[in-house]
Amino acid sequence: MSTAALTSIGLDFVDPALEASVLDTLQRVEGELRSCVASADPFVTEAARHLVDAGGKRFRPLLVSLGAHFGDPRAPLVVPAAVVMELTHLATLYHDDVMDEAPVRRGAPSANSRWTNSVAILVGDYLFARAADIAADLGVEAVRLQARTFARLVEGQIAETVGPRAGDEPVAHYLQVISGKTGSLIATSARFGGMFGGAGPEQIEALAGYGETIGVAFQLSDDLLDIASESVQSGKTPGTDLREGVPTLPVLYALGSDDADAASVRLREILAAGPVTDDALHAEALGLLRESPAMKRARETVRSYAEEARQQLSPLPDGPARRALESLCDFIADRTS
């Protein structure tokens, strides 16, 4: 993990000592990740290291490290706590790829396409088990928190799979899904940082609230980038969600609007038909979405989450670590404007 990699996700270090400390923690996490997924069976080791070796943002260990700076960032359980969070995240990716039938993950063939769905599911289970094993060394409270976080992840995935029930408001349902699938693990990551760094109770709760909110904001901003970017800034070909029929926030706002202008009516007509797979219709819908009131409203929603995350940092003392966390709020508010 390098300074450039951290900058790419919006983190602005204003203090060289903080930067050096966080990078040192993340390097130690990398080493622990590779050693803890090793198995006596070479095939299990290879499959389990597949996504570890593919890299990634390591956003969850990053928040563990930053959270620990409100206490002692060198406390002995900070790195194991970060490893637990990243292993849990990686395990969900193996399962997600099976559910999504994804051929590629992080620029490499996904585990399910390289091997089989069954192998990918079992390797995900193996990583969950390794995370639980390490969490046991962190204490009973950590085990309980990791288990409850995992339960929220699964509930979020189930809610997404089942979809809104009769009477559910689609946008509220979608935000609930994101809170469960994404926000919960990022919240626990920030909480673990505070806990195992030795921060006070009020500070730990502030970190957890910030983590959940910034996690939702990041996911929502990714939704917007999938529509707004002309490049692969979002990590996917622009309009992928639209082509696959994934009901992201701008699409939900567009479908739920009663705007009577011709562009909005035409956009609703295209979106209501489901996945937009026809190339001409896809290009038309993407163009309409980019200029729509729904897109503007979605941007305002992202900015409101970013601002809420900033406000949740208020109980934390001012200093380099808090300013680094605030820089993520600025990045999210600006990246989709």
Give, for all 337 residues of the chain, the pLDDT tens digit. 556 556 666 677 778 999 999 999 999 999 999 888 887 788 878 877 777 777 778 899 999 999 999 999 999 999 999 999 999 998 888 877 777 666 666 566 677 767 778 888 888 888 999 999 999 999 999 999 999 999 999 999 999 989 888 888 999 999 999 999 999 999 999 999 999 999 999 999 999 999 999 999 999 998 898 888 765 444 457 788 888 888 899 999 999 998 889 999 999 999 998 888 899 999 999 999 999 999 999 999 999 999 999 999 999 999 999 999 999 999 988 887 7
Name the residue among 3, 47, 45, 44 with its Cα closest to residue 23: 3
Same domain, 190 and 266: no
Residue 108: its H or E element: strand 108-109
Same domain, 217 and 190: no
Same domain, 194 and 225: no
Same domain, 192 and 221: no
pLDDT tens-digit profile of 38-67?
A: 877 888 788 777 777 777 788 999 999 999
Domain assignment of residue 265, given as a range: 201-336
pLDDT tens-digit profile of 103-123?
A: 666 566 677 767 778 888 888
306/247 Cα distance (integer angstroms)? 22
Same domain, 228 and 190: no
pTM of the predicted structure, to 2 decimals? 0.90
Q: Coil, strand or helix: which one is 232?
A: coil
Same domain, 63 and 212: no
- Total domains present in the chain: 2
The CATH number for 60's domain is 1.10.600.10
Q: Which two tokens stand for residue 202?
A: 């009020």
Same domain, 188 and 300: no
